[in-house]
Structure 1
């Protein structure tokens, strides 16, 4: 089946007439949605069987990213599609029939799931009838509106199906909207692509007003300022963060003051040549950038095992802080569990031989693990074991249920110095 689809995709299309090209494009889209519907049903079944958790993943999205090697956004969309298909057979049929796509189905599912709260004062039969009518109405509208517009319709669906209830429900809906916005607030920094990191997030209206109030004084254009408005906002956000770092009032991070820390060979600071520097997040910056950061950020020339770094604090202290923590950041690059992408600042320093069992707080007995994988290696049922290889880097031995030969694995995601 895969070979036939590949042959079809590679077939020449230059000979198609305009109307034929449009028909084939629509058919291809429908085929894609049918395949996506199948994927969503399979994901829903996998969730029912708790496969992501059984295979050591904290979420279905993370499991899909690892299993299918897809980016976070399509993994989230597939997870949302699975939730939309589960428990909504009419929506599943509408997707398979080509009436709606998975994104639209997710919007419709979310709307009808929240609707009973707004209809709580009505008799059950009337509330059920209105919920069914809302789903049918939004399914019809999906023929003309993409998912983002359909979502706005869903926010005021009662105005379409029960105008006499819309005004009464509006105040309660606003209160729920504010509470929901607070729960769903979040900020995400993407993985760097060509030196750029995408910042995305959602805030409630009140929090957004606070952020805007802090940024606005720094966003005003100056004479001969050729920055766009978006660039001025980006620069203002960085300025606010630098100002917070300079106050010295932020909580400590890993036993050290909150700071930008860049590790670079000392000679590179004095010349325009030399290897790239590395930030605490594991990202590389040029030696020139490191020299510029040296004006207002702490630059740490680190040599593992060097005389200037105390890498072995023995049994005198249980927690890995200061120079030892810095050495772990550089050696492991982040969570060392095979192919986890969590950066160093999101990790704990795990004792391979437990401190309570006599293990030392030293570089050769420590490994960085994110909170999820830290819990996983402590849980006896997972069966993962950790040991250091001959080069001093941690090896992870999977249980026989994952690899019968129990071949050692390492994290291939984080760059190595």
Structure 2
């Protein structure tokens, strides 16, 4: 074996010395296929050696705590990679001969073998040795057409092909076990960061995952050619939009139900002067710009505070774009008015074209519907919003985007 491997090593070294640029495209493709086959055959040899060394207890004899640890030091592998190597070697040794033969022939790769071995083990425990032997042939044939990920999905229905008599019962049992695991493992963890942001981690069960997908997927698409958000940022904004919609329904428990549940306290003079910050009821702070944006579609309660900050007099709510005014705004704009956006009215805030804090009136002529993303975009960007001569909203792009600054309109919501 040592002599053969040394010859193989010399042959590989000779290939490295051969200039690839001198080969034709056909020869390059053929060489790539040959390298892949040799790589898988070498993997089969490597797994055989690992299994034999593990069985002999070489690692512990040389002072290592396990074969995986010994491989980590000997081959300079990550311990996770070394552990998976030992596990696959054991699985391959226990699998029907056809699995090892498939790898040794170079027909399948290591990841596909991992899937085949696990699937065959399941078939063996469910339907017996004969069905397992038959499954090897089916899976190896599939492996010549599909990668490991798709092979794993196809493998979930392997019993339909090799043991149809028990397939339905096994599938039902597997589904019940999967649902039980999903119910047991479901959780969401909300970790508050020092700057007020939240880190979300967790696992959703199948039903909750489907509901989340149905709610946010339509909101995750780019809103137009100017949308430079990453996919992760779009998912973030979609989740925020879903939360805002839930707050607007008025159907949440007593602790929620409308936008007023997000409580921001700021000084009136600082709000109108675009200075200072706002304080959330959690004790965290927002920038003046963020406070002004939130104030576009929130209830404002003027308050007179005593020297120690206690409220002495709280006036009535005012300046909210709601009721008949919002209905008129929906009839006019029919959705987010930003050019190219298809968000419906229920996803939109009422935005003051001239901010209320700058003495802008709360009226139809000074309001426009904007979705959450474009509401932030208008507040942060250089777009100018105005009403055209026909009373319809139009948006003047910044000079860096359009030097001529030709007003743009949203034609998505037009009905004629």
> Taking structure 1 as the reference length, what is the TM-score of the superposition?
0.42
Rg bigger for which structure?
A: 2
